Amino acid sequence: MIQEKKNFVWNLLGLTFNSFNSLFFLIIVKRINGLEIAGSFSFAYAIACLLYIVSIYYTRAYQVSNDEYKASDFVYSRCVSCTLMFLISLILCMISPKKIDKFLIVLLCLFRNVEAMADVLYGEFHRENRLDYAGKSLFIKALLGVSLFFITDIYSHSIILAVCSLILVNIIGLVIDYLNYKKYKTIEAFNWKKIYTLFKSSRAIFVFSFVSILLVNMQKYFIPFFEGESAEAIFSIIIMPGTMMSLCGQYLLNPYMTYFNEQEKEKNYNKIKKRLVYLLIVLGIFSLFASLMLITVGIPILNMIYAMDTKIYRLLFVLVILGAGFYSMSVLISSVLTIMKENSVQLKIYTISTMICLISSYVFIKYGGIQGAVYSYMTTMGIHFLEYLIIFIKRTK
């Protein structure tokens, strides 16, 4: 029981601080380096987050619940996927027209690669019921990383050096993680056949994860081509409360995963529906409450944090929070459908939503700029939620 409490507390702290890293980075770059550099950083970070899915390839849940493969198989496969991701980042670097974007894309992809390698070790700690160690490692690296990033940037005014300091912290953390990993696991020989089988068996998970990240960040990829780096930074500031909203939805979902799993095993679909409806209502009310709080209290705080007038974007902030609320409700239904083994239909949903997002992002941003990007985000998330709701009703009828 004591170990479970330690696992819960440290995992919560680690995930929370690590999830808010991108917010802290954007604030620091905006205040020290200006709006245009912040836009370049935001665009490069969005690319790195997308390619991060290539690095991890399969989810932590797949690693922890799978007994077919050994720890070494997961570690070696992660080395292969991280190498592939870095090669892709180099190709994107050559395509990018701006010099600073080239460096940022490669460096941030390297940073995310190191995080991906640490994640596979965390998965093995998870297997040994030592999730508390993974949480501590995430927490310490997040705290030290942001601190060193800030100190380096404020003294050098170089975003390149700041990201390099961030990479250094994570490499040192990875070495320490690996030394601790060796206490639990033995290092075995590389088995290419096993690695190939692992990639093949988790292919569907990779596609699903890649498409979901693409859906959430689509507008960020289009804005620089139509509006420039400054608009990218402003949109990232506007979209940030939506990221927090999604995180809150994850906190609400996690305690109920065991309940949904138990009810599915007993085929108690009425209980699943009742609890799901309850959670959807809670998320809906929370979205409205968060919108109200942002208008009344949040705007002055954002003005102070970013050193700019965000009041003119208050309607866009509300639309982003509502859109994020729709996405959080979609994730909630998605988790229940996953427990019910309804995975193929979800890939279809994400494919349709991504195509809608692709078209709406191009049209809305081309003719509406930042406002168009927010309208595209809100519209796509609303349609995405409706798709999930219709499928869930049909599957549980």
> Cβ distance 339 to 260 under 8 Å?
yes
Distance CA 337, CA 350 (A): 13
Q: Is 352 among the domain residues?
A: yes
Closest Cα partner for 344 from 395, 386, 383? 395
338-368, pLDDT tens digit by residue?
A: 777 777 788 889 889 999 999 999 999 988 8
pLDDT for position 98: 61
131-143, pLDDT tens digit by residue?
A: 778 888 888 898 9
Q: Is the pLDDT of residue 387 over 90?
A: yes
Q: State whether 348 and 265 are in the same domain.
A: yes
Q: Is 225 among the domain residues?
A: no
Which residues constitute the domain of residue 333?
Answer: 231-395
pLDDT for position 108: 92
> Cβ distance 63 to 74 under 8 Å?
yes
CA 343 from chain centre, in angstroms, equals: 20
Closest Cα partner for 13 from 137, 120, 115? 137
Q: Is the pLDDT of residue 54 over 80?
A: yes
Q: State whether 113 and 260 are in the same domain.
A: no
271-292, pLDDT tens digit by residue?
A: 878 888 888 888 888 888 888 8
Instruction: Specify the DSSP class assigned to residue 66.
Output: -
Q: Give the CA distances from residue 297 to residues 44, 173, 235, 294, in Å, rounded to whole numbers and listed in that order.
A: 31, 38, 20, 5
Q: State whether 298 and 177 are in the same domain.
A: no
Query: Tokens 């050559």 — which residue?
Result: 94
Q: Which residues of 234-271 are buried (b: 16+ CB within 10 A; e: fewer)?
A: bbbbbbbbbbebbbbbeeebeebeeebeebbeeeebee
235-259, pLDDT tens digit by residue?
A: 888 888 877 777 777 666 666 666 7
Q: State whether 260 and 373 are in the same domain.
A: yes
Confidence of residue 164 (pLDDT cuts 50, 70, 90): very high
